[in-house]
Amino acid sequence: TDARLTGLAVLGGAPAFDRPRHVGRPNLGDRDRLLARIDGMLDRLWFTNGGPLVQEFEEAVASIAGVRHCVATCNGTLALEILIRAVGLTDEVITTPFTFVATPHSLRWQGITPVFADIDPRTHNIDPAQVERLITPRTTGILGVHVWGRPCAVDDLQAIADRHGLPLLFDASHGLGCSSGGRMIGSFGAAETFSFHATKFVNAFEGGAIVTDDDDLAERARLIRNFGFADYDQVRSLGTNGKMSEVAAAMGLTSLEARDRFIAVNHQNYDAYRRGLDGVPGVELIFYDDEEATTRQYIVVEVDESAGLSRDDLCQVLWAENVLARRYFYPGCHRAEPYVSEQGPDQLRMPMTDRLAAQVLTLPTGTGVSTADIEVITGLVRRAVSAGPALAAALPRRPGTPPAAVPVPPDEQPDGG
């Protein structure tokens, strides 16, 4: 027997962690501040519909993004859908296939066809050259995504949008608190959206926002968010219910207040991963630009052939150890329904996205993960890679079997530890 394989949980050893280490464990701000805000809300008996906490949250988010308007919503997906409506997009919109499926779904939900443009493998973001190639008379806009909070090629995309007279929007769900060229994400294009989902850098349990400097666009978005109501009985447009609740804003404000601590922890964790993975062949930690504001909310590695085992093999090894790494955004939105059925084979030729979707693994970080945890996790990765092909051959399941099939233990303690 091969000594390098002894004790690995995937081959029958005890797991390195007795409780799961998650990607996306929520960060919690000051509990007392949160409860005080909720108390105030209960006293006021004002729970939603633009209450004082939502207004305060909107002001804070607008100021971080460096824009005049923030329209807070019940989640990031509704922020996208409302923005798409408010801008008046129709027919076709060019976007990236390497994103959470909410991005193309929010277009399709409005009857728009998302046209996928392949990505730049270096940044994981939409490739401007591919965007320009795909513009047709049916194109009504461009929707970029700042994946992992690393900015899109904003200037190149803006130049293309201007050249063709198209609105440029960004899904900045990962981007609050990050900058591009020293300018904060949230202030690019015609408008951008944020997500404040539980797993995000700043969370409001569930929440989202549209941010923009365009007064008319903000006004249209506010109407659509509240059924089109201009006042108590005047409906001025088609609308939906996309409002953020006061309890969500209470969490959002408390989370915002703690953001310097979240950033410090994320940076510390990133450095621990960098040390732990230094010199491991075939496992590359993605870079964050030291010249920019970065939240480093995502620890992402690319696993290539020189690791000796595949990304899926590594994922399987880690899951057995209770390290619940995620394959975001496998297999790419162009291979998800309804897009894979609706669109022709041309649309499926996304070589960069396909390669990256097979290589990317997102690892646990955030305030729920300690430096000691990261030493264990990177130690496991080192071991797996050093055993490489021998380990891959010994794995109990066929390669490619989705690790997502492994159930999450239902009996977790609140501290997740």
**Apex 183 CA angle, 177 and 189, nearest 5:** 95
Q: Nearer to ligand T4K by C-beta: 294 or 307?
A: 294
Run of H or E residues at 299: strand 299-303
Q: Write the interaction track for ligand T4K spanning residues 391-410; mark x where CB under 6 A is met and - where it is not.
A: --------------------
| From 95, 103, 123, 269, residue interacting with ligand T4K (rule: CB under 6 A) | 103
Q: How many residues bind ligand T4K (CB under 6 A)?
A: 23
CB of 174 to ligand T4K, least distance (A): 6
Run of H or E residues at 379: helix 371-394
Tokens representing 150 are 């690393």
Our finding on whether 95 is near ligand T4K (CB under 6 A) is: no
User: CB 236: neighbour CB atoms within 10 A?
Assistant: 13
Please give the full DSSP string across 222-234, using - where no structure is assigned: HHHHBTTBSSSS-
Cα–Cα distances in angstroms (integers) from residue 214 to residues 87, 218, 220, 223, in the given order: 11, 6, 10, 14
CB of 26 to ligand T4K, least distance (A): 5
Provide CB contacts within 8 A for 194, sequence distance 6+.
Answer: 61, 65, 76, 79, 172, 173, 175, 176, 186, 208, 209, 211
Our finding on whether 198 is near ligand T4K (CB under 6 A) is: yes
Q: Nearer to ligand T4K by C-beta: 76 or 308?
A: 76
Q: Nearer to ligand T4K by C-beta: 75 or 266?
A: 75
Name the segment binding ligand T4K (CB under 6 A); options: 20-28, 215-223, 232-240, 251-259: 20-28
> 331 preceded by cis ω (within 30°)?
yes
**Apex 188 CA angle, 182 and 189, nearest 5:** 155
CB of 243 to ligand T4K, least distance (A): 14
| From 190, 223, 324, 352, residue interacting with ligand T4K (rule: CB under 6 A) | 324
Tokens representing 200 are 């995000």
Cα–Cα distances in angstroms (integers) from residue 350 to residues 146, 147, 220, 326, 412, in the given order: 18, 17, 35, 21, 39
Percentages helix, strand, coil for the chain (3-state, rounded to 5) are: 40, 15, 45
Residue type, 188: F
Our finding on whether 144 is near ligand T4K (CB under 6 A) is: no
CB of 223 to ligand T4K, least distance (A): 21
What's the rounded Cα separation, in Å, for the pair 73 and 88?
18
| From 98, 100, 116, 270, residue interacting with ligand T4K (rule: CB under 6 A) | 100
What's the rounded Cα separation, in Å, for the pair 81 and 365?
30
Q: Tell me if 259 sits within 8 A of 110, measured CB to CB.
A: no
CB of 2 to ligand T4K, least distance (A): 31
Q: Nearer to ligand T4K by C-beta: 78 or 166?
A: 78
Our finding on whether 77 is near ligand T4K (CB under 6 A) is: yes
Our finding on whether 26 is near ligand T4K (CB under 6 A) is: yes
| From 62, 72, 89, 145, residue interacting with ligand T4K (rule: CB under 6 A) | 145
Q: Nearer to ligand T4K by C-beta: 389 or 409?
A: 409
Provide CB contacts within 8 A for 315, sequence distance 6+.
Answer: 325, 327, 361, 403
Q: Nearer to ligand T4K by C-beta: 76 or 114?
A: 76
Q: Write the interaction track for ligand T4K spanning residues 348-387; mark x where CB under 6 A is met and - where it is not.
A: ----------------------------------------
| From 27, 95, 96, 99, residue interacting with ligand T4K (rule: CB under 6 A) | 99
CB of 145 to ligand T4K, least distance (A): 5
User: Which residues make up the interface to ligand T4K (CB under 6 A)?
Assistant: 22-26, 75-77, 99-100, 102-103, 145, 171, 173-174, 195, 197-199, 208, 324, 328
